[in-house]
Amino acid sequence: MKNYFNHPVLLLVMVFIGFLNTNAQNTKQLLKSIDTVKTTSTKVKLLTDLAWEYTNLSNDSSLIYSNKALKLSQENNYPFGKAIALENIGLYHEIIEGDFEVASKNYFEALKICEENNLEYQAEILHTIGIMFHMTDNYNKGKEYYELSYKKALENKNLSLQKKSLINLGAVYSSLGEQEKAEKTMLQTLEMAIHPEMDYTTYANLGYYYVKQQNYIKALPYLEKATQQSPDNPESEINLYHLINAKVKANDITGMASIIERAKAAVKTVSSIRDKSLLLRNIADYYQLKGDYKEAVEFRNAYIEVFEEIKEKQRDQIVNDLETKYETEKKDSQVKLLTAEKEKKEQQNKLYLSLLIGGLLVLSLVGYFGYKNRQKNLLLDKQKTLLEVALSEKNTLLKEIHHRVKNSFQIVSSLLYLQSENADDTQAKTAIKEAENRVRSMILIHQKLYNKDELVGINLQEYIGDLTKDIVESHLAGPDSLKTEIDVAPIVLDIETITPLGLILNELITNVIKHAYTDIDDKLLQLKLHENNNQLILQVIDNGTGITKKPSESSFGITLMKALSKKLKANLVIQPRDKNSGTIASLSINKYTILS
C-alpha cells in the first residue's frame, strides 16, 4: 500500500503545463483566429493551443482539435506539427482519462518523429515522458528521461526546459533516496534567473526534504516562501500543511494563529480530498501541541472522515475496474460461444443431409433429452438465484457488522486518546497509549474486512504492512528514523487467527521501539512470517542493544502475549540475535486457518 501521507511534494503538473501561452479566456479568440490564418505552422499552433485549453477544461473537444492539427501536419508534411499534436493527444489521455498506455503510445510516436527529423522539440517530449513515469511512481524511469531532457536542453540552450528538468530531477532524486543529489539539484534551480514563479515548487520540495531530514529549522524558511500568497503561486494554501507540520515538529507555535486560519479556510476551498485530509491532520496536530485537546479531537475526527472517503473511493475504483474486466471477458466468452455454436450447427446440417432418416430419429431423441435438460436447468437456476439472494443478504449483514464494530472500536480509540492526553501520571499515560494501540490493531482488521469482498479473512501481507506502519508512526516523530523490512507470505487467514496474531505483533513491535534502540543511528526492524512444516513462523528481529536479562513474567505485555499464544497453540521465544547486538522474537503457531 502506498504511503499516502509522506509523498514528496508533487507539483509536476503545474511545472509542465503552467507556462504555455494560452488560458481559458483565450479560447474564443483562438477559435476566431484559426479560420483567418493561412500558413500551416501558425494554424497547427493555434489548433494545439486550443486543444490544450480544452484539456484544462476536461473537455474531449481537445481530441478533436489535436486530431485536426495532426491531419493538417500530415497533409503538409510538417513533422513538428505532427509531434506536438501527438503530444497533446497523449496529455489528454494521461491527465483526463488516466490511460497511461494510450498516452505513452502517442508520446513515443512523437519522440520517434523528432528523432527522425532532428527536431529540438525532442527535449520537450523526453521531459513529458519523464513526468508520466514520475507520476506513476516509476522513479528510475522518470529520472532517466529527465536527465535525457536536461542534456538535450543544454545542447539547445533552452534555459526554461533546463530549469523544469532540474526541478523534477530534484524531486525524483529525493524519492529514490539520493539525498545529496536532490538537495544540490534543488538549490541549483534557485540560482537560475529565469521563470522565478517556478521557484515556489522548489521551495516546497526543499522544505519537505529538510523535514524528512528532521532539520525543521532549515525547512521553515523555504516552507514560508512556498506558502507566500501570490498570483504566481497557486499552491500556496495547499502547501500550508507542510509548514504546519514543520512548525509542530519543531515545537514552535509562534506566529501560527494566522497560518491556522488560512489552513481552515483552505479546507473549505481545496478540491482535492487528499489535500483536505493533510490540512485537517496537521491542524489537529497543532491544537494537540498547543494543548487545546477539544479542537484537536474535532479536527482529527474530521481528518478520519475524509481519510475514509479517500479509501472508499479507492475501493470503488477497484470495483469499477473489476467490473469492466468482467464485462470484457464476458463479451469475449459470448463471441467464442457463438462461434462454437455456428460451427456445431454446420456440422449438424451436413450430418442431417447425409443421414436423413437417422437424423430425424436423433433429432427426436435430442429434443426429448433437451426438454428434460432445460427443465433441470430451470430448476437449478431457480435454486442458484435463491442461494445468491440469501448469500448477498448475509454478506451485506456481515459487512454492516464489521463496519459497526470498526466504528465502535474507533470511539474507544478516541476516548483512550483523550484520556491519555489529559493524564498527568506518565505511567498511566503510557498504559493508556498502549491500550489505544491494541485497539487500533483490531480497528485495522474490521476496516479491511469492511473494504474487501472477502468478509471472513484478511490478507496477512497487507495487514502486517499496514499495522507495522501504523505502530511506528504512532510512536516515532519521524517514521523515516526506523527502517523496516517486511517479508510476509500473501496468505489469507481467518479472523480467529489474525486477531490474536495482530495483538501479539503489536506488543513485540512496541517493545522493540521502546527498549531496543539506545544510541543507535541505523535502526532496523525486520518482520518475517511464512508457513513451514504445518506451522506459521513469525519472527521480529531488531539490531538494538539486545536483551541483557530474561523479560519479566509479571509484565502485562508478556502476560498478554502468553495468553494469546495459548489460543493459537503457539510457542513464544525471545532471545539475543547474536553475541554482538539485537534481539529475535520467534512465535511458532500451530493452530491457524488459511482461507486462500
Angle at 553 between CA 551 and CA 559, to 5 degrees: 110
**CB 119, CB 113: distance < 8 Å:** yes
User: Residue 432 — pLDDT band, cuts 50, 70, 90?
Assistant: confident
pLDDT digits (tens, 9 = 90+) for 135-167: 888 889 999 999 999 999 999 999 999 999 998
The predicted structure's pLDDT at residue 502? 87
| Across 193-207, average pLDDT | 87
Answer with the residue of higher pLDDT: 403 or 6: 403
The predicted structure's pLDDT at residue 19? 34
How long is the chain? Answer: 596
The predicted structure's pLDDT at residue 6? 40
Question: 3-state class of 32 per DSSP?
Answer: helix
User: Residue 311 — pLDDT band, cuts 50, 70, 90?
Assistant: low
C-beta neighbour count of 232 within 10 angstroms: 13
The predicted structure's pLDDT at residue 273? 77
Nearest C-alpha neighbor of 97 from the set 50, 141, 138, 55? 55
Answer with the residue of higher pLDDT: 557 or 489: 489
| Across 437-452, average pLDDT | 69
Residues of the chain with pLDDT > 90, as a percent, come to: 18
Question: With DSSP H G I counted as helix, E B as strand and the rest as coil, what are the percentages for the chain, rounded to 5?
Answer: 70, 5, 20
The predicted structure's pLDDT at residue 469? 86
User: Residue 391 — pLDDT band, cuts 50, 70, 90?
Assistant: low
pLDDT digits (tens, 9 = 90+) for 512-568: 888 887 777 788 889 999 999 899 999 999 888 887 777 777 778 888 888 889 999
User: Residue 408 — pLDDT band, cuts 50, 70, 90?
Assistant: low
The number of CA neighbours under 13 Å toward the Cβ of 414 is 17
| Across 346-365, average pLDDT | 71
Asked whether residue 367 carries a pLDDT value surpassing 80, the answer given is no
Amino acid at 517: Y
| Sheet (strand 523-531) strand order | 482-488, 523-531, 536-542, 583-589, 570-576
DSSP output for 109-154: HHHHHHHHTT-TTHHHHHHHHHHHHHHTT-HHHHHHHHHHHHHHHH
What's the alpha-carbon Rg for the chain, to the nearest Å?
Answer: 31
The predicted structure's pLDDT at residue 80? 94
User: Residue 81 — pLDDT band, cuts 50, 70, 90?
Assistant: very high
The predicted structure's pLDDT at residue 403? 61
The predicted structure's pLDDT at residue 2? 35
- Tell how strand 536-542 and strand 523-531 pair up: antiparallel
The grid cell for 181 is 543529489
The grid cell for 433 is 497509549
Asked whether residue 29 carries a pLDDT value surpassing 90, the answer given is no
Give the 3-state secondary structure of 254-284. CCHHHHHHHHHHHHHHCCCHHHHHHHHHHHH
| Across 248-252, average pLDDT | 88
| Across 36-43, average pLDDT | 81
Nearest C-alpha neighbor of 107 from the set 116, 124, 118, 120? 124
The predicted structure's pLDDT at residue 110? 93
User: Residue 471 — pLDDT band, cuts 50, 70, 90?
Assistant: confident
Answer with the residue of higher pLDDT: 137 or 129: 129
Answer with the residue of higher pLDDT: 148 or 322: 148
Answer with the residue of higher pLDDT: 187 or 344: 187
Asked whether residue 5 carries a pLDDT value surpassing 90, the answer given is no
Asked whether residue 331 carries a pLDDT value surpassing 60, the answer given is no
Helix extents (H) in 120-239: 122-135, 139-156, 159-175, 179-190, 199-212, 216-226
Nearest C-alpha neighbor of 154 from the set 120, 111, 188? 120
What's the sign of the alpha-carbon dihedral 476, 477, 483, 488? positive
Q: Which residues contact 484 (CB under 8 A, 6 or more apart)?
A: 468, 469, 472, 524, 525, 526, 527
What is the average pLDDT value for the chain, to the nearest integer?
80
